[in-house]
Amino acid sequence: MAVEPFDVVDLIRTKRDHGALNPEQIAWMVDAYTRGYIGDEQMAAMAMAIFLNGMEREEVRDLTLAMVASGTRLDFSGLSKKTTDKHSTGGVGDKITLPLAPLVAAFGVAVPQLSGRGLGHTGGTLDKLESIPGWRADVSVDEMMAQLDSAGAVVCAAGSGLAPADGKLYALRDITGTVECIPLIASSIMSKKIAEGTAALVLDVKFGSGAFLKDIEKSRELAKVMVRLGEDAGVATRAVLTNMNVPLGLAIGNANEVRESVEVLAGGGPADVVELTVELARHMLELAGVTDVDVAAALHDGRAMDSWNAMIRAQGGDPDAALPVASETHVVTADRDGVLVAQEALPFGIAAWRLGAGRARKQDPVDHAAGIDLHAKPGDAVTKGQPLFTMSTNDAARFDRALEALEGGYRIGDAGDEIETGGPLIAGVVEA
């Protein structure tokens, strides 16, 4: 039996006592945890030590690269097109990947978008797309390459071979109170994105009520760390800081978010969804070397919609098929005349989750028809009895708990009252 080069207890003590681990120690630790030599209880202690004491820049880089090395890495160098990708840290009503991938593809740049499923109040891109009859998330590498050449974009599930160390560590962090840790968040996101193999990456780093990190400065710090990690790994990386104090768009759920995305691709849709889609597309295209193009024009002249239809059909979906509709609805109306001054993202995300749009455990099914459709946004004048939002589900027993989540989550005030949005949608850009 081979003698291990390090003792994990020594490494835990080093981090416990504010020390730094060297590249060899980190590489061994990640490998030993992946192959089961280091137990969950020991890695949990290490995660807590990192949570409490942080990591130096070099440690975060070494941890990220070690997690990349724990599995396979995709290679798109054989494609005839340049590649670019996007990652969002998650939010309420954040369906941007759906219109964004085909929009960028319309300009001849390939978008291999490996996405995930929702957990808790943040929705998952794959759950949304699975609302479309026939669409499948599982795509082989060969199928992905062929689809990128033909349709220009693919949104699919990541294979288990990409950064498996992160999969193990992510699950452990979720049950040990070590999720909100910038070195661990950054290495988790970037290990998967680097392993995906794209040449360029744009990060949508959110802050506010419905975001992973509420404080903008924490989100800015995370963005800076991730941009450095990407650049260190040879991936052209940029981050956009976006406001998630208010739900994005008017639809929160799965099928209804697909409908809204198709509206955007047809040249319509809510202004905030269009603004963020175009902004992220512009950055993705710039990093891929495509400049001086009218990005928004492709939403109006049919090019982006053509890319969407090709992308959906390539994965077995029917873009013209009817989407699921819930059997039960409940409309909430304004109790007075006035102005909608507050609409917090988190309560609406939790309410949609409780209606069945999300899951509490990874193995739970989702109700693709469940969700919330907003009829007013902060700043809109409303009259007594006017619908504010409609809740949808296939299980009417879910309405009461969803309404509980929304208590205090929205407020009608008077003309002249401050509109509580937390500022503009796009708060800044972080570059290398």
Q: Please, what sign has the CA dihedral across residues 77, 79, 81, 85?
A: negative
Q: Please state, in angstroms and rounded to a whole number, the distance separating the CA atoms of residues 317 and 134.
A: 4
Q: Which residues have CB under 8 Å from 391's CB, separation 6+?
A: 329, 330, 331, 332, 351, 355, 371, 372, 399, 402, 403
Question: Which one, of 302, 379, 391, lies nearest residue 354 by Cα?
Answer: 391
Q: Are 205 and 241 in contact (CB under 8 A)?
A: yes
Q: Write down how long the chain is.
A: 432
User: Exactly one of 62, 85, 127, 166 is catalytic; which is it?
Assistant: 166
DSSP string, 278-328: HHHHHHHHHHTT--S--TTHHHHSSHHHHHHHHHHHHTT--TTSPPP--SE
The torsion region of residue 122 among left (phi > 0), alpha (psi -120 to 50) and beta comes to beta
Query: Beta strand pairing status for 236-243 and 426-431?
Result: antiparallel
Choose, from 15, 61, 86, 87, the residue flagged as catalytic.
87
* Residue at 298: amino acid letter: A
Which residues make Cβ contacts (< 8 Å) with residue 406, sequence separation at least 6? Answer: 332, 347, 348, 351
Catalytic residue at 87?
A: yes
CA dist 404 and 168 (Å) reads: 34
Which residue is associated with the tokens 């219109």?
A: 99
Whether residue 166 lies in the annotated active site: yes
- Sign of the torsion formed by the C-alpha atoms of 277, 283, 285 and 290: positive
188 is catalytic: yes
From 61, 95, 192, 282, active-site residue: 192
Query: Is 72:161 a contact under the CB 8 Å cutoff?
Result: yes
Tokens of 431: 């570059």
Among the listed residues 173, 206, 220, 398, the single catalytic one is 173
Task: Output the CA–CA distances (angstroms, integers) from residue 214 to 124, 241, 284, 319, 403, in the order listed.
Answer: 20, 12, 25, 36, 23
As given in the structure block, the two tokens for residue 185 are 């968040």
Both tokens assigned to 336: 């007075």
The amino acid sitting at 335 is D
Which of 124, 122, 426, 93 shows the shortest CA–CA distance to 250?
93
- Which of 88, 187, 188, 191 is catalytic? The answer is 188
Collapsed DSSP state (helix, strand, coil) of residue 333: strand
List, by residue number, the catalytic residues: 87, 166, 173, 188, 192
